[in-house]
Chains A and B, each alone.
Chain A
């Protein structure tokens, strides 16, 4: 019975939202209500997610697992931010400064590590993939894009060279559109399979 209820709710909601794309005027009041419910449910899911996060770290601490020092840091930071947020409220300027002055530098440092890792990964391209046509094409396109972005190549507006440069500059866009078209078709089929209950990611 539970399964049938879940399936029915999923189908009706899905069809309603799908219909809303095409009959916006007629369905907009109901769609707004459905989206509000969706946002509310996502918020509740987020709260449950926080609960899972805390439980995971607590279990690491209790079971003396490796990496429990990180759990101590996470739990302490959470309790501090939670209590301070309750006492001072998130609108308080001091509280906002305090949190942002920790959060922003930490995230910036993580992004810096990411930049270095990306550079390192790019240098390992041939070692990972070998001299395959895809790897060579990737390398060449990266080099060409970097060179073009430097702006060193200047041509007259109506010359053949300008046309060639234009084609080269548009190539990444064309490639991205190709990938996005494929993904859109894939997304369409996945969505329809859920609507037709061939797939049930809301509970098998």
Chain B
């Protein structure tokens, strides 16, 4: 048995589980969605910002694809749709910032797609507020910081592939006593954001975020598949450790 075969087996099994659970959850009692207080506070802060007439920022990160964290860009884009609630967009002030042309186009495409699907009659394309403050991490920071300082932001969510400079954006919003939420992917940004942000989601939790905001059947299927894979991985690691201690491996 080669490692390539193991890879195919894991991918095939995961795909199979996703399909089966997706079918099962459409007709039967669905897998429960776990609660993250940080996500509840994000939803509450966005609603509060809306009521106070303040802006809400969603930062999608610098890259759609990176070799070290390939799924982060897609994961970030997956939260655009659940965050585009009718009232959030109708009131204006919803800003989505991306640091990559591909991310920007896809985020805009999702927003416009919802418009075309008739999701909300009040959604006006020109009000979508998808911006690109800069194309490199530092130019993005230089472009975003004046925007955060000059406009009244009441809530900021950081997702996707952001670097350690994200702490500068977080501090800019935290300084005016407004809410900052992060589901930051790379380990470096998790480490730098941990001391400054209370509502931080780390590790695999980052990929659960779209389902935590608005759980669809496919999200629940994804939760269960991910949980099974995680438990399997833990079991294998423990068994491997025991075998190594016993001198068998």
Where the two chains meet, the residues of A that have a C-beta atom closer than 8 Å to any C-beta of B are: 18, 21-22, 41-42, 44-50, 52-53, 56, 65-67, 70, 74, 106-107, 110-111, 113-114, 117-118, 120-122, 124-125, 128-129, 138, 176, 178-183, 185-196, 198-199, 201-204
Closest A residue by C-beta to B117: A204
Which residues of chain A have C-beta atoms less than 8 A from B94's C-beta?
Answer: none
- Extra A-B contacts (7), CB below 8 Å, given A53-B135, A122-B195: A49-B104, A117-B167, A125-B195, A128-B197, A183-B71, A188-B71, A190-B71
Which residues of chain A have C-beta atoms less than 8 A from B221's C-beta?
Answer: 198
- The reply on B240 being an interface residue by CB < 8 A is no
Which residues of chain A have C-beta atoms less than 8 A from B164's C-beta?
Answer: 114, 118
Q: How far is the CB of A202 from chain B (nearest CB, A)?
A: 6
Which residues of chain B have C-beta atoms less than 8 A from A182's C-beta?
Answer: 203-204, 230
Closest A residue by C-beta to B12: A192
Which residues of chain B have C-beta atoms less than 8 A from A187's C-beta?
Answer: 69-72, 75, 207
Closest B residue by C-beta to A187: B71
- Once the chains bind, are A53 and B207 in contact (CB under 8 Å)? no
Q: Which of the listed residues B64, B202, B207, B208 has the most CB atoms from chain A within 10 Å of its own CB? A: B207
Closest A residue by C-beta to B81: A204
Chain B contributes a number of interface residues (CB within 8 A of A) equal to 76
Where the two chains meet, the residues of B that have a C-beta atom closer than 8 Å to any C-beta of A are: 4, 7-8, 10-11, 14-15, 18-19, 22, 64, 69-72, 74-75, 77-78, 81, 98, 100-102, 104-106, 109-110, 113-114, 117, 130-135, 138, 141-143, 146-147, 149-151, 164-165, 167-168, 171, 185, 187, 190, 192, 194-198, 202-204, 206-208, 210, 218, 221-222, 225-226, 229-230, 233
Q: How far is the CB of A191 from chain B (nearest CB, A)?
A: 6
Q: How far is the CB of B115 from chain A (nearest CB, A)?
A: 10
Which residues of chain B have C-beta atoms less than 8 A from A52's C-beta?
Answer: 101, 104, 130-132
Q: Interface on chain B toward A: helix, strand, loop, or mixed SS?
A: helix
Q: Which of B15, B71, B77, B135 contacts A46 (CB 8 A)?
A: B135
Q: Which of A47, A67, A114 contacts B165 (CB 8 A)?
A: A114
Q: Which of B22, B104, B143, B195 contacts A198 (CB 8 A)?
A: B22
Q: How far is the CB of B200 from chain A (nearest CB, A)?
A: 9
- Once the chains bind, are A199 and B149 in contact (CB under 8 Å)? no
- Once the chains bind, are A67 and B11 in contact (CB under 8 Å)? no
Q: Which of A66, A111, A138, A198 contacts B194 (CB 8 A)?
A: A138
- Once the chains bind, are B131 and A70 in contact (CB under 8 Å)? no
- Once the chains bind, are A67 and B226 in contact (CB under 8 Å)? no
Which residues of chain A have C-beta atoms less than 8 A from B15's C-beta?
Answer: 192, 195-196
A113 to B171, CA, bound (A): 12
- Once the chains bind, are A189 and B207 in contact (CB under 8 Å)? yes
Please list the 7 inter-chain residue pairs (A to B) with the smallest Cβ-Cβ separation, ordered nearest first. Answer: A187-B71, A49-B101, A186-B207, A45-B101, A182-B204, A67-B150, A121-B196
Q: How far is the CB of A196 from chain B (nearest CB, A)?
A: 6
Contacts A183-B185, A187-B72 known; A47 to B101 CB distance under 8 Å? Answer: yes
- Once the chains bind, are B230 and A49 in contact (CB under 8 Å)? no
Which residues of chain B have C-beta atoms less than 8 A from A44's C-beta?
Answer: 101
Which residues of chain A have C-beta atoms less than 8 A from B204's C-beta?
Answer: 182-183, 185-186
Which residues of chain A have C-beta atoms less than 8 A from B229's C-beta?
Answer: 185, 188-189
Q: How far is the CB of A95 from chain B (nearest CB, A)?
A: 19
Which residues of chain A have C-beta atoms less than 8 A from B171's C-beta?
Answer: 117, 120-121
Which residues of chain A have C-beta atoms less than 8 A from B71's C-beta?
Answer: 183, 186-188, 190-191
- Once the chains bind, are A128 and B198 in contact (CB under 8 Å)? yes
- Once the chains bind, are A113 and B187 in contact (CB under 8 Å)? no
- Once the chains bind, are B233 and A185 in contact (CB under 8 Å)? yes
Which residues of chain B have C-beta atoms less than 8 A from A183's C-beta?
Answer: 69, 71, 185, 203-204, 206-207
Which residues of chain B have C-beta atoms less than 8 A from A181's C-beta?
Answer: 233
